[in-house]
Chains A and B, each alone.
Chain A
Amino acid sequence: MQKIIKDGVIQDCDLNWIQDQEQAVEALAGDQKAKAIIPLNLWLDDAHDTSGVAGIWIDSTESTEPLAGKDLSELAVIGLNFLAFADGRCFSYARLLRERLNYQGEVRALGNFIPDQQGYMLRVGFNGFQFNESVDIEKALLLHKPFSVAYQGDVVDPRPVFARR
């Protein structure tokens, strides 16, 4: 079974990130619905009954704006998919999920991010890391938190350095 890092611990990944729209529609009717992480668009589409899914995922090319005003408390996971690791849009999305939309569940990194980005990712609100399968997750865990102090306030500690000095 694939592993993830969640809250700083390596765990089994027991949820199913479904990237394909049609497969996601099928999953809504199947017995694995409660484990499905489905595309944002599908979740927003009233034609489908998406209640009871584990979560949704948002692509780099999308945004968190459609989530404004929605009840996110039913979602155990919101995944953010890195198209490329240098595509930093998901850093803003994670922060907006936490600070603007007050989302309390797991914010999971998906796709092409790299282990060396975890430090920044933790600070903007990610707490789940589902690496590409080529990544050695034990080694990735060693890179989880490269800094013990920071200048800016962040999701972990909203106080900027001038409020901590």
Chain B
Amino acid sequence: MSLIISLKMPSGKGSKLLRYIEHRLRVSLTDNRTIVGTFLAFDKHLNLVLVDTEEFRTLRSKKGGGSANVIEERMEKRSLGLIILRGENVVSIAVEGPPPPSGGRVVAGGPGVVKGVGRGAPPSTTAVGGAPMGMGAPMGLGAGPVHGVGGMAPPPMGGPPPGMGMPPPGMGRGF
């Protein structure tokens, strides 16, 4: 295990982050945005893949002119679902909570995957195992894009059951 990690992430930063895969993370960005989502993947740039994502922005607007310097702060919240976050904009990452129960994550899958059927091993295995195939450039491009995107969501759903959802079991299952 540690061998794989050290080959992949020479900095050692990887292993610390790997520990939090499947956890809920709160990520603050350079533009005063905060993103809260379930952490699925990252790369060396600290690009992150999050599902069930919610975005929080505080919008400040001056209210009332002249001497009355009232600044109204409005917290705006939106649901984004599955996102890729560019590492360039990441200021800090905090662990918001443990991996949510898989039922809670169904929403991010979008309209097509309402049912949490993926708890069983087979669908999960195919989904996780199938996805990395797209790594080879031609394969990735060849894969039907719409299906590809649709296919992304199931792995988290079918991922490790709550409680045992640590990286090692999940990774072991993928291969």
Tell whether A pairs with B.
no
Interfacial residues, chain A to chain B (CB-CB below 8 A): none
